[in-house]
Amino acid sequence: MTGMVLSLYRVRGPFFYAAMLVIFAAILSDLLGDVVTMGRALQDGIREVQATLVPLAFAVALACVVLTFVAPRWLPVPEARVVGSPVRGRWMGINSPASVVPSHGVRAYGQAYAIDLVHDPLDVPRPEFGGPAMRAAEEYPAFGRPVHAMLDGAVVRVSDRHRDHRARSNRWGVAWMMLESVIREIGGPGFVVGNHVTIRGDDGVCAMVAHLQRGSVLVQVGERVRAGEQIGSCGNTGNSSEPHVHAQLMDRASCWTGQGLPMAFADVELGAPPELDMAPGSDDASEVGDASGSDVASGSGVVPREGVGAECVDGLPENGQHMTVPIENAAEPR
């Protein structure tokens, strides 16, 4: 019984999407029926089809919603997979599974354990939230930064056609982005994640990096890549409020049916936790998280390491916490 429920849960996305298309098509048909002249026989035929499909679509949509809230309690939580960081330098965690799971509020599109990373170097100021509703993406230090493969494997998905839009940099801009997201949801996950690259490892685990800069992708489907190899650049495509890198692991390549998997970045320096970041005398660039004795949920935070100094851990930054990946000696996954 549990296995059947989890199987249905895996395909809830495409079924819900199909059900909503049927419902919207029926509504549109009724609206056009009052405007467009159609024969009596055609109108009767459409109504007969609607009488069958629309109740079924509502039932399927309701079942998908129930599965969304009920099935996660039976989902297995595997051990965090250690992968290479997709970025180099100093970045801040946003929507991090080290703080809450699912990290983005939903498990759809395989993003239960996904993390967003914004570049926040000490020498280049990152624009603060506020001011104009929309800023040029180029004003953010993350824009154009190299993005690297998180694991060895074959490239299975590539998108490089979505344009980079302006950042949504105040409350009005975010409100506009929420309206845009409704349209993107209709278009499917490709319009949500924007330009992206998905790599399937030899064990079947798939790593995706998203919101890449248009025209920056350096790999093609079928190409073999190694962890640490540059595969694109950070952009602001898809459902994104500012240039950042979205990274996630899935058990399948498709965002429609893939389930998110926990991960940890290899050999990264974690700054002071957000609640201690402003403590008197603290220096976020030098404060380092200690892997020993850490208590993080779902295996998505710090993973203890043996034989490595406290300054380097396998883990993820919490929301608002900084992560530094040295450019000259970025580690590869083990």
Which backbone phi and psi does 185 adopt, to 5 degrees? -60, -35
CA distance 52 to 178: 33
CA distance 91 to 233: 15
The pLDDT value given to residue 151: 97
Enumerate residue ranges in the chain where pLDDT < 70.
1, 32-46, 274-310, 328-334
Residue type, 118: V
| SS3 per residue for 99-131 | CCCCCCCCCHHHCCCCEEEEECCCCCCCCCCCC
The pLDDT value given to residue 311: 73
The pLDDT value given to residue 284: 39
Q: Are 256 and 262 in contact (CB under 8 A)?
A: no
CATH number for region 81-325: 2.70.70.10
* Burial track 157-190 (b if 16+ CB lie within 10 A, e otherwise): bbbbebebbbbbbbeebeeebeeeeeebeeeebb
CA distance 253 to 199: 8
The pLDDT value given to residue 269: 93
The pLDDT value given to residue 179: 86
| SS3 per residue for 150-172 | CCCEEEEEEECCCCCCCEECCHH
